[in-house]
């Protein structure tokens, strides 16, 4: 039980910290159309950032006191399906890691797995690619943990 708690205590801060929200200049959006109307609690902003990949503009609307506040409201939205899949990734890692610990794999080895970074960056996967990318990450979790267990068995 203690090992499970330690594993969870080590895993949660890893996924909540770091530079995961850093954006390269190439990943930034440029607003090509902007409208502002007076609203009860500040302004009602309607804006359309340019999508460099598709050449299309999607229109967003939000109420806020500032444009940056309106963009933040729109930018933080994540569908329930994506939230579910992110939680499923974390739980898959948790279950696989618990099994590895039972097989004698150390927590230090688990925290050095390459797939951990992909789990942390999973929130940046575009909505249309969630299932494909997250399925791939789940396979990587299972593969890497199985490899650690196999190496641990070889060392015995």
Q: What is the pLDDT of residues 10-54, one digit of tens each?
A: 666 666 555 555 555 555 667 777 788 888 778 888 878 776 666
Report angle CA 28, 48, 83 to the nearest 5 degrees: 65
Q: 């506040």: which residue's tokens? A: 69
Beta bridge partners of 3: none
For residues 2 and 143, the model is more confident at 143
Radius of gyration of the chain (CA): 21
Question: Torsion angle of alpha carbons 70, 74, 76, 77, nearest 10°?
Answer: 150
Structure confidence at residue 156 as a pLDDT band (50, 70, 90):
very low
Q: How far is CA 96 from CA 26, 50, 91, in A?
A: 36, 41, 8
Query: What pLDDT, on the 0 to 100 scale, is given for residue 154?
Result: 62
């Amino acid at each position: 039980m203690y090992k499970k708690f330690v594993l969870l205590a080590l895993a949660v801060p890893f996924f909540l910290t770091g530079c995961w929200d850093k954006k390269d200049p190439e990943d930034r959006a440029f607003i090509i159309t902007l409208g502002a109307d007076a609203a009860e609690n500040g302004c009602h902003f309607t804006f359309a950032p340019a999508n460099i990949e598709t050449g299309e503009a999607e229109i967003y609307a939000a109420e806020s006191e500032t444009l940056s506040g309106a963009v933040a409201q729109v930018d933080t939205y994540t569908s329930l399906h994506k939230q579910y899949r992110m939680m499923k990734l974390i739980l898959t890692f948790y279950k696989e890691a618990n099994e590895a610990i039972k097989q004698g794999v150390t927590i230090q080895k688990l925290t050095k797995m390459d797939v951990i970074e992909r789990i942390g960056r999973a929130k940046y996967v575009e909505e249309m690619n969630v299932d494909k990318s997250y399925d791939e990450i789940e396979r990587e979790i299972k593969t890497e943990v199985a490899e650690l267990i196999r190496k641990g068995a070889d060392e015995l």
